[in-house]
Structure 1
Amino acid sequence: MSPHLITLQDHDIGIRSEAEVLASSPGFANIANGTPIFGEDARQLARLHPRQSFNQFWAQLSL
């Protein structure tokens, strides 16, 4: 089994193997419908509901 890498960047979260990107999700959240939505679905709603969208939560993560 090859090692995998989880990347947390200010613009996305991803999972990689040595050869390829296995999964990637943009760092967006949206609460326009009252329920938090994350990733690509939230990114698509960001232009429709800019005041209910947030894309800096990975950049502001405090460990």
Structure 2
Amino acid sequence: MWTSDITYLTCGEGDMYLCAIKDEHSKKVLGWGVADHMRTALVLDALDMGVAGRGGDVAGTIMHSDRGS
């Protein structure tokens, strides 16, 4: 199972948002994305990195997000 979450980082020029994708079995962060927005592209960047790190073979993987704000 993979999980994801988004948090904000306070930077000198304003807030940035970090989305991370974590493999709950290995406890490794598989992908991440950083942007100045919380739009879909931020999550897709992180998810694409995670899928690429697994060689594209993610059949049967369950993705969970808390669907916060």
Give the alignment's TM-score, normalised by structure 1. Answer: 0.36
Q: Larger strand proportion, structure 1 or 2? A: 2
The structure with more helix, counted as a fraction of residues = 2
- Of the two, which has the highest radius of gyration? 1
Higher relative contact order (CA 8 A, sep 6+): 2
